[in-house]
Each structure stands twice: as C-alpha cells, then as structure tokens.
Amino acid sequence: MDKIPVLKPKKLKRNLTILTLLFLIVGSAWFAGFNFIEVMINLGKGGRLLGRMFLPPDLSYLPNIVDPMTETVRMAIVGTFIGATLALPIAVLTANNFIKSKLLHGPLRIILNIFRTIPALVLASLFVAVFGTGPFSGVIALSIFTFGLVSKLTYETIEAIDYGQVEALMSLGANKMNVLRYAIMPQILPQYMSYTLYGFEVNIRAAAVLGYVGAGGIGQTFEYNLAWRNFDRVGTIIIFSFFIVLIIDLISSSIRKRLV
Amino acid sequence: MEKITIKKETNYLHVALRVFYYIVVFGLIFWGFKGIEYKGVMQSASGAINALIKGFLNPDMEYATNMTIDGLPNAILETIAIAISGTFVSAIISIPFALLASQNIVGSKVSKIGKLIVTMIRTFPELILALIFISVVGPGAPAGILALGIHSIGMLAKLFSESIESMDLGVKEALESCGGNYFEVLFRAVLPQVSPELMSYTLYRFEINMRAASTLGLVGAGGIGAPLIFAIRTRSWSRAGVIIIVLVITVSIIDQISSRIRKRIV
C-alpha cells in the first residue's frame, strides 16, 4: 500500500514562537531570581506559618472582626454604587455608535484606560495621603476603579448592540433621547447590571486588602495583627473573610447567570 | 386611524418580586452609606493635592533613567518578570486542576469537587499568599511569582475547564475507539483542541497579573510596588508621579500587545 503523504505546515514560524516564549519565561525567571530548588527546600517554613495561623485559629477573636468586616462590605457596596452609577452615562458618551465624535470618545477612552490601569491599592494609598486614613479614602479608590471597569465593559456592549432597533426607531422619527431610552437601554441594561455585580465581587476582594494602606476595612485589622505576629488571629481573619467573599460570590454569580 | 392598543398582562407576583428586589438593593446601598463616615477632608488636603499635581508635572527623571538596581527601569522589568513567571507557573499547574474540574473528563462527581477546590483557590487573596510565600523564600520577587502562580490557578483552571467542557468530543472518542490510552487521548485529542483558547486565557491572565504584580511589592514581594508605596508614604510626589506614569504606560502597551495576539490566536 502506498503511503499517503501528509503535508505538514512549515515549522519555522512555530519553532520561532516557542523559542521566543522560552526565552521570555527563562529570562524572567532568571531576572526575578527564581530558584525552584530553594523553594522546594523551604516549603516547610510556609507549612509552619500556615500551622501557626490555622492550627488552630484564635476563634475567640471573631467578635472583634465583625465590625471591620461589616465596614469592608459597606465600602464595597458604596464604592460599587458610586462607580457604576457614574459609569452608565459616561459609557453612553464613550460608545462610538451613539455619539459619533472622535473628539469626545478618544480622550474619554484614554482616561478610562488610565483609571483601570492604576491598581485600586495604589489609588487608595494616594487618597490616604490626601484625605487621611479611613474608609472614605477606600470608597473613593473603589469608586474610581469600578467606574473605569464598568464603563469600559458597558461601552463595549453598547458598541455591540443590534443596530436594527436603533434604525427602526430613527426611521419613525425618534430623537436621540428616544433612541437611547427605547433602543439602547433595554438592550444593555441586563449586561450593565451583570457588570456592576462583577465589579462588586472584585470590590469585595479589593476592599478586604485596602486597609493594608490605611483605607479602612478588615485589612487594617489584618495588618495590625500581622505586625504583632498574632498569627492565630490572622488565621481567623483569613477564614472569616474567605467565607464572606465566597458567600457573596455565590449569590452574585447566581444572580448574574439569571440576568444575562 | 384607529389607535392600536397593546394589552400588557400584569403579573402581580412579578411586580411584587420586582418591588421586593428594589427594596433589598436600595436598602443595602442605604445601609452601606450609613457606615461610611465622611469626616471631612483633612485640612492639609488642598496643600497635598497641590503638591501631588506639582509632583506629577515634574516627574523625577533622575530616578526614571537610573539604570542601576535601585532605578525605575529595573523595578519595572522585575514587575514584568514576576508577571510572566507567575502566569507561566499558574498556566502549567492549572491544566491538571482544569482536567479535574471538567465534567467530560473525570465525570460529574469528581468535577464538582474539582470546581470547589478551584473556587476556593480563587477566593484566597494574592496579598496573603504573598505573605505566606515571603516566609518560605524570604522577601523578594520569587515570593511574588509564587503568589501569582497559585492565585491565578483559581481563574485559569476555571476558564480552562469551561473550554474543555465545551469541546468537540468526537476526536476524543475516535482516539479511544482506536485503543488510545489516557495520556494519548489527553495529548493528542484534548489539549490540541483547546490549546488556542488556553493560550488566549493565559495571555488575558498575564494582563491581570501585570497589575497585580505592581501591588505585590507592598508586602515585600518584589516589583515596582515597594518603591511606589515608599514614595507615596514619604510624599515624594515627583517620584510617585514618575512611577505611576511609567506603570500606566507599560501596562497599557502590554495590554495592547497581548490583546492583539489574543485576537489572532482564537
């Protein structure tokens, strides 16, 4: 039987890509001083720390962290609310199919991009330096971050809507506001709500560590106990926040699944 | 012309539910606002803002062009290195976790346990992981790499398992019917099919890790975070300004490159 010749694609490009990737990975591991053997040898130390945190955690400390945890949840709620509320009108202005002006949505896009690029923790430490410590600085940081995130996701959704409905309304003589109210909003609102909830999930996690720079919430208690090496209390804080985040995630993602 | 009337059926249960949701949501928001005390802006705030703007307008160029180990280029490179290595570590570890969480590979019972493990990893904050790993390898970039490597499994394994679950099972069955063993099926049917998506998700996670790597320095896990926090705490605004500007530009460029590659892969 004759062999059927199989034409294989040229391998040069693939090999070059793999080589570049390998170079990048090995290079960065070397640059960062990553030593796999050292990690393996010292793994025991991490185990000992985990042991001091969780075997057993100091559960008598639990009543002391309910208040900071409540503050964390409040910060996340307020930050998400402010950020997402501001995001909706800005997203409409930024989408390139509602208002067709490059002068408007070009700069807006750059600003939104900058907001999203600066990590919430850095924003928070900036605001702590300006407004002083406390949840207020944290809330502003979360608001700005949520605003950038939700605006971006929402304007991309607006740009991807079914334009037929808009044209149908325009052909009936509807003005811009009518188009917005009856053609765009109904199409994007479920997505927007879903993005807001997603932002809330991200914010709960972010709010839990913001206290590390003095911006309120459970992170402050965490940092304090870590500095005093009360590892069994740190363990309690980790377990408690873990469950709160897990519960909120489960609720939020089940709502999101039903929305979209 | 006669007006066309559209009859809307009102379902009172739905209306009541809707009202109930509104009350819950606005109640929560109100409750949230009640807890956030606005203590008023610090008296020094306007001065601080002025100094901040001044600092951002006069970036510390000496620091930005300092090519030694204490300079900005080195710190940025280290941040990128942490993000790349951390993403790579997590992409490798994520594959077994993803298989464990995929219903069509291990069956629905095991996959539920796998999914739970993945969710639990995702919930564990990377900063805390970084602190744990600092006790393992000491402060520095390796701790950051390990923290990102473990934390990213939570998201990557979830996305990986979703794409494995939605793949075409025909190839897998064909190989099985030819007598392929478990590893042959895995490496010749499952992974080749999902690898473009896997790479795309990995790149996406790399973008996220770039941002995460820039805050890890806060707890001593390497990268740009440590000099940035130090500059903010000592209110050296021109230095903080230059770090933030360079960070934003670097992250934006990497985002652009990465999303362009992602578009070509999938």
- List the domains of chain B with CATH numbers: 54-265 (1.10.3720.10)
Mean of pLDDT values over B29-37: 84
Q: Is residue A59 part of a domain?
A: no
Q: Nearest 5°: CA angle at B72, between B62 and B261?
A: 135
Whether B40 shows a pLDDT value over 70: the answer reads: no
Q: Which two tokens stand for residue B138?
A: 């000491």
Q: Are B232 and B225 in contact (CB under 8 A)?
A: no
Amino acid in position B171:
V
Q: Is residue A34 part of a domain?
A: no
Chain A residues touching B84 at Cβ < 8 A:
24-25, 28
Whole-number pLDDT of residue B43? 67
Q: Is residue A105 part of a domain?
A: yes
Beta carbons within 8 Å of B220's beta carbon, 6+ residues apart: B130, B134, B139, B140, B143, B226
Whole-number pLDDT of residue B1? 59
Chain B residue nearest residue A22, CA to CA? B88
Whether B95 shows a pLDDT value over 90: the answer reads: yes
Q: How confident is the model at residue A35 (pLDDT cuts 50, 70, 90)?
A: confident
Inform me whether the C-beta atom of residue B11 falls under 8 Å from chain A C-beta atoms.
no
Whether A151 shows a pLDDT value over 90: the answer reads: yes
Q: Is residue A11 part of a domain?
A: no
Residue A117 and residue B42: Cβ atoms within 8 Å?
Answer: no
Whether A9 shows a pLDDT value over 70: the answer reads: no
State the ipTM, two decimals. Answer: 0.81
Q: Is residue A171 part of a domain?
A: yes
Q: Is residue A44 part of a domain?
A: no
- The model's pLDDT over A174-199, given as tens digits with 9 standing for 90+, comes to 888 888 888 889 889 999 999 999 99
The minimal CB distance from A24 to the residues B84, B142, B247 is found for B84
Q: Is residue A142 part of a domain?
A: yes
Amino acid in position B247:
L
Q: Are A52 and A109 in contact (CB under 8 A)?
A: no
- The model's pLDDT over A77-86, given as tens digits with 9 standing for 90+, comes to 999 999 999 9
Element (H, E) at A46: helix A36-54
For residues A119 and A84, which has the higher predicted lDDT (pLDDT)?
Answer: A84
Whether A44 shows a pLDDT value over 90: the answer reads: no
Q: Is residue A12 part of a domain?
A: no
Q: How confident is the model at residue B42 (pLDDT cuts 50, 70, 90)?
A: low
Residue A32 and residue B82: Cβ atoms within 8 Å?
Answer: yes
Mean of pLDDT values over B219-240: 88
Output the average pLDDT for chain A. 87
Measured between alpha carbons, how far is B266 from B199 in angstroms, rounded to an integer?
A: 9
- Find the domain containing A115 and state its range: 67-259
CB-based burial label for B84 (10 Å; 0-12, 13-18, 19+): buried
Query: How many domains, chain A?
Result: 1
The CATH code of the domain that includes A164 is: 1.10.3720.10
Measured between alpha carbons, how far is B95 from A124 in angstroms, rounded to an integer?
A: 35
Residue A130 and residue B211: Cβ atoms within 8 Å?
Answer: no
